């Protein structure tokens, strides 16, 4: 009991209230863990974002902390922590709207370990006869304890998934396809799909679905999709840190490695673009041929090093660099392929939303795999952009819609603004965006710059959510009318109510609702 002498019944009643509050609090932070791919430390980072996202959440956070501190003197103060933790952070829902909590075996294991950690704190409180402060501290520390549980369970989960990786490695050895592995800060999925499409007319090809680009996803793609007789397997490889791609390449060794771009994506984890380049370069360690986007200065320099120091066969693909081995020259919606400085065939139609640099890399791979140049040219006009990445269409209401909701990098955002500027619409142009994330220390400045650029194209800006609201508003700086909404659903409702035939809208990025 506290020094002010509350009855033991009151103290134990508050203790029980804190235990009950663990249910909604835990569900919130477990959902964040699931949405962030079970990465240790992610939950604490999101907790800080949420508790500081708006004045009401700051107030609730202060109440929760005050309850922990004061409960040592006055046990009933822990009730304030219980209420604050059960209610907040506001707008971070338990079930989730765009990213619902899914009861998987891994989530259940994580929840069990987290509950054990909470039980230790609760048990200490009961043992010392002063339960309220320990129970309140367990609520406030819930995000950190979920992160601790993630750290503890990570090696167990890795061992559990090892058998699926072994199965995938055995299947790859048995089928023995030519493995093409793709990485980059952005452009991976588009390039993967382009390669599969260009090669499919000549060889049997299987590509990893969606964004199955980590250890578990890649193993699942091989085990479920790689059929006997497959000639080419195209694998997308992502990373959140050093060593991940090297591990993938140990059991899925590429003959051809493709590097699409290096940019400020996941900077909050890597710290610098040089660190990103180092981690991505792991994809070349087992390859005999490397295709690099030579328009990216870092990759152009890397290509020279790989060629001179390691003796690898480097193919430079580009749009702007006339010295590239494979160049995709674009003009007026048409594309021409230039190999070793010589045009191949006549220019062909290029659908809107196809990023030329990604296509240049795909063409280089297809040609290296022996696809005839004329077949490559025949198949380019039938390429489709990846869904939600620079796709454009006219809605039933007559509004020209540019959908770039799966993008969160500055280069892609600039391309989306260019597509909006070229929209066949004479009316209003609107940009709807929550801004870009995972840009580390550059996030605010990049979002300000994007908002300024958007003002040069759009007549109105719709800012969604709280994550980048301040930076986007600074970037607009009164140049254009701004509409501020909480969710994308509200933004879509505003667009439908205010835009009509002849107008155009760009949906740039879309954050799931575990972001503020």
* Confidence bin at 379 (pLDDT 50/70/90): very high
Q: Where in the chain is the domain with CATH 3.40.1190.10?
A: 176-382
Q: Is 131 exposed, middle or buried (0-12, 13-18, 19+ CB in 10 A)?
A: buried
pLDDT for res 264: 87
Dihedrals φ, ψ of 180, to 5°? -110, 120
Angle at 480 between CA 474 and CA 482, to 5 degrees: 70
Confidence of residue 164 (pLDDT cuts 50, 70, 90): very high
Class of CATH domain 391-508: alpha beta
Residue 424: the pLDDT is 86
Enumerate the CATH 3.90.190.20 domain ranges in the chain, comma separated. 391-508
Peptide bond into 87 cis (omega under 30): no
Least reliable range by pLDDT among 162-166, 205-209, 329-333: 329-333
Mean pLDDT of 107-111: 97
| Residue 60 parent element (H or E) | helix 55-70
For residues 71 and 130, the answer to whether their CB atoms sit within 8 Å is: no
Residue 8: its pLDDT value, please? 66
Residue 36 has pLDDT above 90, yes or no: yes
Residue 294 phi, psi dihedral angles, 5° rounding: -75, -10
pLDDT in tens, 210-219: 878 899 999 9
Rounded mean pLDDT, 475-502: 96
Question: Which single residue is written with the structure tokens 């009164």?
Answer: 478
For the ranges 39-53, 233-247, 262-276, the lowest mean pLDDT is seen at: 262-276
Task: Please give the span between the terminal C-alpha atoms of the chain, in angstroms, as a whole number.
Answer: 38
pLDDT digits (tens, 9 = 90+) for 171-189: 999 999 999 999 999 999 9
Angle CA 80–86–92, to nearest 5: 130
Q: Which pLDDT value is given to residue 11?
A: 79
Q: What is the mean pLDDT of residues 14-24?
A: 94
Query: Could you read off the pLDDT of 289-303 as tens digits, one per residue?
Result: 999 999 999 999 999
pLDDT at 1: 45
Which residue(s) pair with 194 in the sheet? none
CB atoms within 10 A of CB 354: 21
Task: Report the percentage of the chain scoring pLDDT > 70.
Answer: 98
Among candidate residues 93, 85, 91, the one with its CA nearest the CA of residue 137: 85
Q: Tell whether the model's pLDDT for residue 207 goes beyond 60.
A: yes
Assigned CATH class of 176-382: alpha beta
Q: In which band, very low, low, confident or very high, does the pLDDT at 233 lie, cut at 50, 70 and 90?
A: very high
pLDDT digits (tens, 9 = 90+) for 435-473: 999 998 899 999 999 999 999 999 999 999 999 999 999
pTM exceeding 0.75: yes
pLDDT tens by residue, 344-365:
999 999 988 899 999 999 999 9
- 7-21, 147-161, 464-478, range with the lowest pLDDT: 7-21
Distance CA 505, CA 388 (A): 14
Instruction: Say whether pLDDT at 119 is over 50.
Output: yes
Instruction: State the chain's mean pLDDT as an integer.
Output: 93
């Amino acid at each position: 009991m506290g020094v002010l002498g509350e009855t033991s019944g009151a103290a134990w009643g508050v203790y029980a209230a804190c235990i009950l509050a663990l249910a909604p609090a835990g569900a919130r932070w477990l959902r964040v863990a699931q949405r962030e791919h079970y990465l240790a430390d992610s939950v604490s980072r999101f907790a800080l974002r949420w508790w500081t996202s708006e004045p009401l959440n700051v107030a609730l956070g202060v109440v929760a902390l005050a309850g922990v501190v004061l409960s040592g003197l006055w046990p009933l103060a822990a009730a304030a922590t219980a209420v604050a933790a059960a209610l907040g952070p506001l707008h971070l829902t338990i079930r989730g709207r765009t990213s619902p909590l899914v009861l998987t075996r891994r989530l259940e294991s994580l929840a069990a370990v987290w509950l054990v950690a909470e039980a230790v704190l609760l048990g200490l409180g009961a043992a010392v006869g002063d339960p309220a402060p320990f129970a309140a501290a367990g609520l406030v520390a819930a995000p950190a304890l979920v992160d601790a549980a993630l750290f503890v369970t990570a090696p167990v989960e890795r061992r559990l998934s090892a058998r699926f990786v072994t199965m995938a490695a055995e299947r790859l050895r048995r089928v023995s396809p030519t493995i093409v592995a793709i990485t980059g800060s952005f452009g991976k999925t588009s390039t993967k799909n382009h390669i599969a499409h260009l090669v499919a007319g000549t060889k049997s090809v299987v590509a990893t679905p969606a964004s199955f680009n980590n250890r578990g996803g890649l193993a699942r793609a091989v085990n479920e999709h790689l059929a006997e007789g497959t000639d080419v397997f195209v694998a997308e490889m992502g990373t959140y840190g050093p060593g991940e791609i090297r591990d993938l390449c140990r059991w899925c060794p590429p003959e051809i490695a493709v590097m699409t771009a290096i940019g400020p994506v996941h900077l909050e984890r890597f710290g610098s673009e040089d660190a990103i380049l180092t981690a991505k370069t792991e994809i070349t360690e087992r390859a005999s041929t490397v295709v690099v986007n030579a328009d990216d200065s870092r990759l152009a320099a890397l290509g020279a090093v790989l060629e001179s120091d390691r003796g690898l066969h480097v193919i430079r693909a580009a749009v702007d660099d006339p010295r590239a081995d494979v160049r995709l020259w674009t003009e007026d919606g048409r594309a021409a392929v230039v190999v070793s400085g010589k045009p191949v065939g006549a220019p062909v139609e290029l659908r809107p939303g196809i990023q030329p640099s990604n296509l240049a890399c795909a063409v280089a791979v297809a040609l290296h795999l022996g696809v005839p140049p004329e077949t490559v040219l025949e198949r380019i006009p039938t390429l489709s952009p990846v869904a939600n990445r620079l796709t454009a269409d006219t809605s039933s209401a007559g509004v020209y819609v540019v959908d770039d909701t799966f993008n969160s990098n500055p280069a892609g955002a600039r391309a989306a603004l260019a597509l909006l500027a070229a929209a066949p619409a004479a009316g209003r142009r609107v940009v709807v965006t929550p801004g870009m994330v995972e840009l580390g220390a550059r996030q605010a400045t990049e979002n300000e710059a994007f908002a300024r650029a958007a003002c040069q194209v759009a007549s109105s800006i719709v800012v969604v959510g709280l994550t980048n609201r301040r930076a986007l508003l600074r970037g607009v700086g009164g140049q254009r009318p701004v509409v501020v909404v909480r969710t994308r659903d509200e933004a879509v409702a505003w667009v439908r109510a205010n835009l009509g035939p002849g107008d155009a809208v760009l949906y740039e990025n879309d954050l799931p609702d575990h972001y503020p």
